[in-house]
Amino acid sequence: MRPSTLRRLLRRVATTAALVLVTATPSTVAAVQPATAAGGLQQVTGFGSNPGNLRMYAYAPANLSADAPLVIALHGCTQTADDYYTNSGWPKYADLWGFAVVFPQTSSANNALSCFGWFDPAEDTRGRGEAASIVQMVEYAKQQYGSDARRVYVTGLSAGGGMTADLLAAYPDVFAGGSVASGLPAQCATSQSAASGCQTGPLKLTPAQWGDKVRGSYPGYSGPWPRVAIWQGTSDYTVYPANATALRDQWTDVWGIGQTPSSTDSLPGNTTRSVYDDASGRPAVVTYSVSGMGHGLAVAPGPGTDQCGTTAAYFLSAICSTYHTGVFWGLDQGAPGGGEQLPAPSGLRVASVTANSASLTWNAVPGAASYTVHRDGTKVASPASTTYTDTGLTAGTAYRYTVTAVDGSGTSGTASPPVTATTTGSAPARCFTATNYAQVTAGRAHTTGGYVYANGSGENMGLYNVFVTHTLKESPAGYFVVADSGCTAG
């Protein structure tokens, strides 16, 4: 028996004996079959030497324009590429916004539970194994679809999320952004025996130590770094919420921006979004904490633009994470229209603010028929002029705006650099009830020596775990106090 064959056999035996992200019965493992091209999903062969023994499936909308973005979507354990294609919602936005999606697939030949090898240096490091196969798929897609090399993104669930973090660390020159859903920090484990320990609670490392794991994955690389979204359910007992905190620490350290959020707000599905801006005021790292959600990818079935997916095993009804991830990456701002994109409007500034409004102005773009205004990544208006007043806002709250020019065919150009408008007055108090893990993950508290302390007030909330629950009251923004005896918003 060849040494390489023996190593693969040993990995399969070890995985069967240990927990790797998803616990499965023998019948569950036996049910994992290779994906069949369904609908628009097509298998691609001959994409490279394929050292990781993966299969490549792809979905490309009709009339896909050249230089469109490319998304790589990695399934979780016991899943297939077809599962992810069918339930995640990515094909919907590929059609709506115009980009191709590649769905890599591993199998039981690599791992007994069909998990990507996020814990194996032979599979998840630069130039080796499954990671190298996925990058070969990227190169193939760039040639086949004309995908823009500057706009390649990777996302994954569970083991796919762990591999996503490893890919962002090993190939920051390939991926402009990533999204880790119920996953692990980059290089959390480097052996099978260490994998389960990462799932239930990663090493208690400092942000700098976590960041060093990224910097050590591609020595000598100094940026630019990928922009990273982190999705986590607060009731996930397969990959514990502490992993989201470690991911936040890891990537904010890589960006050099600290672990205090620039802003925090609430989204549908009991989701708290915490944004960590880079030095230019643009979101670099965003965490999405879904209160009460277990282990899986957040979806929200429905016909709305911000609704997507189908509920199934490990696809959980809460919020369309795919939509918000795509908006964070800017996929919604460059939909194809057949012509060259207009440049970004210059001179965007905040002309004035009140307690419930913000007025913007910017310079005209030649050839623009209208403009699109985005507030915190969501489209809010399409004015024909170079001014816009946004109303119905909350007092004492910061909002981020970008503007794009739109030509006569409806094609949106490049987004402007963001500006922040802060309304006058005092923001109403907000109340958050969650476990200590969830409070830290959402950026409302921090850890020191195994204990949790409220941001701002510094009040001791007890041990850093998922069993202690507190209510925090926020007022003013960023200042939290323990309010277990009663919390009234407003």
Give the C-alpha separation, 400 to 381, whole Å: 14
Give the C-alpha separation, 362 to 377, whole Å: 18
158, 179, 217, 416: which is the annotated catalytic residue? Answer: 158
Bridge partners for 480 per DSSP: 456, 474
Has 158 been annotated as catalytic? yes
Please give the positions annotated as active site.
158
